[in-house]
């Protein structure tokens, strides 16, 4: 399971890096990558009750940042992408292979394509995608209000306190999330 998740994350990064450069003719900056991944995780959570990648995010000033990638970005290199430091902690992601989309559901592929359609444009700046993440990722907003630079709780993506919500009023994504979360907790 862990190896599958790692492959999925690696291929998502490769996909975003390759498609972004294809559309913009510019390499993917880390800020864009972090927001692409956050949108994929939090939008799929809202829509289906399950995050696509399950990354752990920190609420930082420019939006959600996936810690597993951010903390290891210096020298991060796989067979399909590589992080390259330009200067002063500024990184670009260079695609070095082709993404394997077999790791993703058709829903996830559509979601990734949609994100590229929206944000992979020469006129979209890093500040634009950051601002979009502030506006639409509820869990980031909630964490930022309570604890700047805190770890984002996936629970906060849902509008109500799920622990106290009447079972009969749960939406299908909320119900799926609660079931999945309790299975995860039982597994650990």
Question: What is the per-residue pLDDT across 93-110, written as a single tens digit (0 to 9) for each?
Answer: 999 999 999 999 999 999
- The tokens describing 98, both together, are 């082709």
What mean pLDDT comes out for the span 150-175?
Answer: 88
Confidence at residue 125, expressed as pLDDT on a 0 to 100 scale: 95
> What pLDDT, on a 0 to 100 scale, did the predictor assign at position 188?
67
Q: What is the DSSP string of the chain?
A: -HHHHHHHHHHHHHHHHHHHHHHHSSPEEHHHHHHHHHHHHHHHHHHHSS-SS---EEEETTEEEEHHHHTT-TT-B-SSEEEEEEETTEEEEEE-S---GGGS-HHHHHHHHHHHHHH-STT--HHHHHHHHHHH-HHHHHHHHH-TTPBPPGGGGSSS-GGGS-GGG--HHHHHHHHHHHHHHHH-
Separation between Cα atoms, residue 1 and residue 82, nearest integer Å = 24
Q: What is the mean pLDDT of residues 17-43?
A: 97
**Alpha-carbon span 62 to 121, nearest angstrom:** 19
pLDDT in tens, 112-153: 999 999 999 999 999 999 999 999 999 999 999 998 999 999
Report the distance separating Cα 174 and Cα 77, nearest Å: 36
Tokens of 28: 């993917």
Domain boundaries, the chain: 2-157
């Amino acid at each position: 399971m862990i190896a599958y998740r790692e492959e999925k994350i690696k291929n998502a990064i490769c996909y975003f890096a390759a498609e972004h450069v294809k559309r913009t003719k510019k390499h993917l900056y880390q800020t864009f990558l972090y927001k692409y991944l956050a949108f994929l995780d939090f939008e799929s959570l809202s829509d289906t009750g399950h995050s696509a990648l399950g990354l752990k995010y920190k609420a930082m000033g420019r939006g959600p940042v996936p810690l597993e990638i951010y903390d290891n970005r210096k020298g991060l290199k796989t067979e399909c992408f590589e992080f390259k430091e330009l200067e002063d902690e500024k990184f670009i992601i260079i695609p070095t292979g082709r993404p394997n989309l077999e790791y993703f559901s058709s829903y996830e592929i559509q979601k990734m394509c949609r994100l590229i359609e929206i944000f992979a444009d020469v006129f979209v700046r890093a500040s634009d995608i950051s601002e979009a993440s502030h506006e639409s990722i509820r869990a980031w907003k909630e964490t930022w209000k309570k604890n700047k630079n805190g770890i984002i709780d996936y629970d906060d993506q849902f509008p109500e306190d799920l622990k106290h919500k009447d079972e009969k009023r749960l939406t299908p994504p909320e119900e799926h999330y609660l079931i999945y979360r309790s299975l995860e907790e039982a597994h650990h």
